[in-house]
Amino acid sequence: MGSNPTLSANGCAEKTREGRRMKVKDVIEKLKDDGWVQVRQESSHRTFKEDNSQLITISGSDRADVYPGQLSDIRRTSGLPLR
């Protein structure tokens, strides 16, 4: 059975429902493999676009964990099975 997400002292999610963490660089890699293109970046916020004009913004350094809410939004928008 998977564990529920727990929050660390700084409020970051320690685990996803499956018990694994997803890093920003892993999400970006999967988006690029699926045809998403980075169109701009401001500080640590990267914005990706697909042909159908949908935009996804991912915040955080490459080594940071993606917050569960942000991962859910990326999953919904991109249609990718990110886990």
**CB-count burial class (<10 Å; 0-12, 13-18, 19+) for 80:** middle
Q: How far apart are CA 28 and CA 56, in angstroms?
A: 10
Please write the tens of the pLDDT for every residue from 25-43.
999 999 999 999 999 999 9
Please write the tens of the pLDDT for every residue from 69-78.
999 999 999 9
Q: Enter the tokens of residue 31.
A: 């988006």
Please write the tens of the pLDDT for every residue from 2-27.
444 444 444 454 454 555 679 999 99
State pTM to two decimals: 0.72
CATH topology of domain 24-78: Metal Transport, Frataxin; Chain A (3.30.920)
CA torsion 76-34-57-22 (nearest 10°) is: 80
- Residue 18 has what pLDDT? 52
**CB-count burial class (<10 Å; 0-12, 13-18, 19+) for 73:** middle
Q: Enter the tokens of residue 27.
A: 């999400």
